[in-house]
Amino acid sequence: MLRFAMLLGLALVCFTATTLPAAPRVTDVSLRGLTAGKTTRLTLQGNQLGPNPEIKLDFPTNAVRVLPESNAKSLVLEIDLPEDAPPRHGKLRVATATGISSPVTLGIDALPSVPFAENIESLPIAMTGSLTGAELLATSFQGTKGEQLVIEVEAQRLGSKLLPLVSIVDERDTQLAYSSRVTTARDDARFVVELPEDGTYTIKLQDALFRGGKPGFFRLKVGEFRFADLAFPLALRGKQEGASLNLLTTADDDIDVPAILPESSTVEPALANVPVVVPGSFSGRRPRILHSDIPEFREPKPDSQPGSLGSAPLGISGVLAEPKERDVFLIDVTPGTKYRAEVFAERIHSPVDAVLVIQKADGGKLAASDDQNDTPDPATTFDVPEGVTQIKLLVRDVAHAAGPTHAYRVTVTPESWADFTLQAKPVSLNIPAGGSTTLEVVAKRRGFDGAIKLNVPELPEGLTASLDEIPARADRALVTFSAAADANQSAVVSIVGTVEIAGRTISRVTAIGPEEPTFGLAPENDQIGIGIIQKPKLLVAWSGDLPETALGLGQVTALPVRVTRGENQKGSVRFSLITSQVMPQKDGKPDPSQALRLEKELTLPADQSDATLTLVTPTQLKDIAWDVAVKGELLAGDGKKVLATAESPARRFSLGSPLFLALTGEAVVRLKGTISRAGGFQQPVIVVANGLPKEAKSDAVEVAADQSEFTLEITLPPGIAAEQLANVKLVATAKRNGEDAPSNQVPIRLDTGAK
C-alpha cells in the first residue's frame, strides 16, 4: 500500500478483572493530541479496557506505557513521541482478551497539549475540551501588537459531532475575526488574525447551530504554525520524477515541498492517498495527493503554448485562482467512442462548485453538467462524432468564485473503462478463538462483471480469511475471518480487491466505515481492526458437507450445524441466517418470501449441541453464487437475554438448476371410487369431500341406488398451501329409516405442487 503505517502493540500491566463479554470501548479521552518530542499522559475512559491491554497505533513512538492505576474502565497511558514525529492525525486502538476497540483519532504536532481552561498561560497551545447543545466556552490570553496567530478548532476531523464556530474579541468585546464550516477543513473552523494592540484577548467557542451533538469534544489550537488541507497537483501517477507539490492554503507563506511517494508495493496499481510531508511547524491532518492509475496532468501555465494535454484516459488538476476564471483543456479522443468526464471538488473538500462543459475543438457543444444526484460535482457522458479527434473541456465555478484553495480534478475516461469500489461498514471485527466471523464486503462495478479477488495482507499468525472473492456478477461476499484456538494477536489490516481485465490490473482498497466510496478516489479510511475473543462463550460450526449446488428454486436445503458452549455455559441457542442477499422489496417494504431464509425459527435446547436448520430458497433468485452463514445466540435462563453471539463460517452455494416448475392455474383432481352397500340396502348415496378450505371447490356426487361407481372432482386454486389440504376426507351418506347414515371416512392426500 502507498502509505506509511506502523502498528505498535504493548501489553505491560495485568488487571484484576473477570472475563467480560463485550469488546473494548473508548468513550472519552483526556487529551485529543500528542506533542512531538514529549511524553503525553492520556486517560481513556470506557469499558473492557483490560486486563492486559494491547495498544495499537499507526504512528511511530519511542515508548508507550500502561500505568498501574489503570483498570477496566480507565486506561492511563504515557506516550513518548520522537522529536521528529511527523505532524498528522493518528489512530489509537485498544485490544484485550475480549476484542479490539474502534479507533480514536489524535492530533500529533509540536503544540503542547493541555485540558481546556479559562486562561491560556503561554502560546502556542492545544486545548482539549467538550461542548454540547448551546454552550458557549471562552478562554483568554495576553497578546502583543502585530502578533499573527492561527486559531483553529479540530472537531469533525477527530470524529466529534460538534460543528465549531470560533471567534476572537478584544478587551472591549469587539470581534476581530471568526470562522465556521471551513470546507477544506471538513467543516471545522480556522482563521488567521493579526492582533491590533497589546492586551487581553478572548477566544469564544460554540456550536454553529447552537445544538451541538454528543460527543462534542474538540481540540482548540492557538499559535503560530503552518497549515494546509490540500496539495497541488491533486493526483500523480506513480513516482513522477521531479514532481513537486505546492501547498494550497489561505496563509501567505505557500511553499513548494517535495512529493513523498513510496516505492511500488505488491498491490499496485491502486488508488491510494499519499500524505505529504510539510517542513516546519505544521499542525493538522497532512494534505494528501492521490496516487492514480491513469496519466495525470497539471493545468498548463497561463503563458504556455496551447495544445493537447494528451489522450484519454487522463486526469487534470487545476485551481480556479481568479474570479470568473474558466479553465479550458484540449484533449485527444477517438472518433465514435463514448466517454465519461467527471469533476472532483466537493468530494475532495474543495470549495469549488463546478460546471463542466464538453465542446468540439471548433466550439460545437457536445455535453454539459452542473450537479449529480448525490453531489454538486458534475459528470457527463458524451459521444465523439466521426471525424472529431480533439475535444475542449471547460471547467468554471457556478458562482465564478475563486481563491488559492479552489482546486479541482477532472477525469476523462472511455465509458467502458472498467472500475470498481469496495466497502465494509464495521470499523472493527472481533473473532472468537477457535471460531469465525463474517464480514460483508460490497462492490460497485463499472464496465465489467467478473470476479473480484480479495486479499488481506499482513494477517498475523493464527488468522485466516476465506471466501475471499466476490463472485462474477455478484455485488458482495461474506468474507470469513477465522482464528485458531491459540490465536492471540490482534491486528489492523486493509482489504484489497484486484481484477485482471484485458491485460490491465485494477486494484482497489476497501473503504472501511459507513461513508460510501467514490469511483476515482481512494477511501479516507481503509483499515479495519481485527481482535481476538480469547474465551468465547459460544462457537457455531458446520457439522456436515453440502454440495456447492445445494440450492434449488422453491426447494429446501438442510443445514447441519454444531454449537460449542464455553466453560460453564449451559443456555439454549437461537439460530438465524446471514446471507449475501439484500432483502428483496415489494411496494417499498421488505419481502421475506423472496429471500433466502430459514423455514422456521429454531432454538436448540440447552442439553443439545447439534441442530439441522432448513434453508428455503425462493422461487425467484438470481443465478449467481450466494454466501450463507448461521448465527447463534446463547440465551440466558429466561430464554430472552442474549449472553453471547457467534457465527459459522460462510459457505458459498449456487443453484443446482435455474428452473422452477409451478402450477399457475387451477388444479382439478378427479377421484374415482365405488360404493359397497349392505345386503338388502338399496338407497341412493351422496359422496362429499369434507375438510376443504373455502378457496377450493367440489360438488357432492349422487350415486344412484342401482349404481356403485362414482367420480368426484375437486378444483384447487393456484398457490394453495399443502397444510390447507392436510385434513381432506371423503365420506358417503345415505338415508336409513329417515336419518343420515354416514360411511367410513377416507383420508385424501392432495398436492398442487406449490411450496
Final residue of a structural domain among 370, 394, 416: 416
Q: Are 242 and 259 in contact (CB under 8 A)?
A: no
pLDDT tens digits for range 639-698: 999 999 999 999 999 998 888 777 677 888 999 999 998 888 899 999 999 999 998 999
Is residue 15 a part of any domain in this protein?
no
Find the mean pLDDT for residues 303-325: 91
Pairing of strands 164-169, 496-501: unpaired
Q: Which three cell numbers stand for residue 418?
A: 472498467
Q: Give the pLDDT score at 237.
A: 86
Measured between alpha carbons, how far is 457 from 290 in angstroms, rounded to an integer?
A: 21
- pLDDT at residue 276 tops 90: no
Q: From start to end of 48-172, where are the E strands?
A: 54-57, 63-66, 74-80, 88-96, 99-100, 104-109, 113-115, 125-130, 136-143, 148-154, 164-169
Measured between alpha carbons, how far is 533 from 429 in angstroms, rounded to an integer?
A: 10
Helix (H, G, I), strand (E, B) or coil at 482: strand
Find the mean pLDDT for residues 430-458: 96
> SS3 letters for 601-612?
CCEECCCCCEEE
Q: Which three cell numbers stand for residue 589?
A: 417494504
pLDDT tens digits for range 142-175: 999 999 999 999 999 999 999 999 999 999 999 9
The verdict on 309 and 263 lying in the same domain is: no
Q: Give the pLDDT score at 242.
A: 46
Q: Provide the β-strand partners of residue 134.
A: none
pLDDT tens digits for range 362-406: 889 999 999 999 999 999 999 999 999 999 999 999 999 999 999
Residue 752 confidence class, pLDDT cut points 50, 70, 90: low
Task: Identify the burial level of 2 via C-beta atoms within 10 angstroms of its C-beta, where 0-12 means exposed, 13-18 middle and 19 or more buried.
Answer: buried
Out of 181-185, 273-277, 373-377, 489-493, least confident range: 273-277
Q: Give the pLDDT score at 3.
A: 32
- pLDDT at residue 722 tops 90: no
**pLDDT over 70 for what percent of the chain?**
93
Domain range enclosing 356: 295-416
Final residue of a structural domain among 262, 293, 324: 293
Helix (H, G, I), strand (E, B) or coil at 401: coil
Is residue 88 a part of any domain in this protein?
yes
Q: Are 376 and 346 in contact (CB under 8 A)?
A: yes
- pLDDT at residue 260 tops 60: no
Q: Are 113 and 128 in contact (CB under 8 A)?
A: yes
Q: Return the CATH number at 87.
A: 2.60.40.10
Q: Are 114 and 130 in contact (CB under 8 A)?
A: no
- pLDDT at residue 109 tops 70: yes
The verdict on 452 and 427 lying in the same domain is: yes
Is residue 116 a part of any domain in this protein?
no
The verdict on 313 and 393 lying in the same domain is: yes
First-to-last alpha carbon distance for the chain, in angstroms, is 51
Final residue of a structural domain among 355, 389, 416: 416
The verdict on 287 and 300 lying in the same domain is: no
DSSP label at residue 103: P
Out of 270-284, 344-358, 693-707, least confident range: 270-284
pLDDT tens digits for range 553-585: 999 999 999 999 999 999 999 999 999 999 999
Is residue 724 a part of any domain in this protein?
yes
What's the one-letter identity of residue 661? Answer: L
Find the mean pLDDT for residues 33-55: 96
pLDDT tens digits for range 315-353: 999 999 999 999 999 999 999 999 999 999 999 999 999
The verdict on 444 and 523 lying in the same domain is: yes
The verdict on 458 and 542 lying in the same domain is: no
Is residue 625 a part of any domain in this protein?
yes
Q: What is 622-677 written as a DSSP string? A: -SS-EEEEEEEEEE-TTS-SEEEEEEPPPEEE-BS-S------S-EEEEEEEE---
The residue behind cell 489509537 is 92
The verdict on 31 and 50 lying in the same domain is: yes
Pairing of strands 235-237, 288-292: parallel
Q: Return the CATH number at 467.
A: 2.60.40
Measured between alpha carbons, how far is 249 from 255 in angstroms, rounded to an integer?
A: 10
The verdict on 247 and 301 lying in the same domain is: no
Buried b (16+ CB within 10 A) or exposed e, 544-561: eebeeebbbbbbebebeb
Mean pLDDT of the chain: 91
Measured between alpha carbons, how far is 697 from 750 in angstroms, rounded to an integer?
A: 13
Q: Give the pLDDT score at 753.
A: 56
Is residue 12 a part of any domain in this protein?
no
Q: Are 355 and 397 in contact (CB under 8 A)?
A: yes
The verdict on 510 and 423 lying in the same domain is: yes
Q: Give the pLDDT score at 380.
A: 97
The verdict on 569 and 493 lying in the same domain is: no
**Model-level pTM?**
0.87
The verdict on 96 and 160 lying in the same domain is: no
pLDDT tens digits for range 61-80: 999 999 999 999 999 999 99
- pLDDT at residue 108 tops 70: yes
Q: What is the number of domains present in the chain? A: 7
Q: Give the pLDDT score at 262.
A: 45
Q: Return the CATH number at 376.
A: 2.60.120.380
Q: Give the pLDDT score at 19.
A: 36
Out of 113-117, 188-192, 235-239, 435-439, least confident range: 235-239
Q: Give the pLDDT score at 295.
A: 94
pLDDT tens digits for range 475-515: 999 999 999 999 999 999 999 999 999 889 999 999 999 99
Q: Which three cell numbers stand for residue 183?
A: 470546507
Is residue 55 a part of any domain in this protein?
yes
Residue 754 confidence class, pLDDT cut points 50, 70, 90: low
DSSP label at residue 592: G
The verdict on 545 and 435 lying in the same domain is: no
Q: Give the pLDDT score at 143.
A: 97
640: number of Cβ within 10 Å: 8
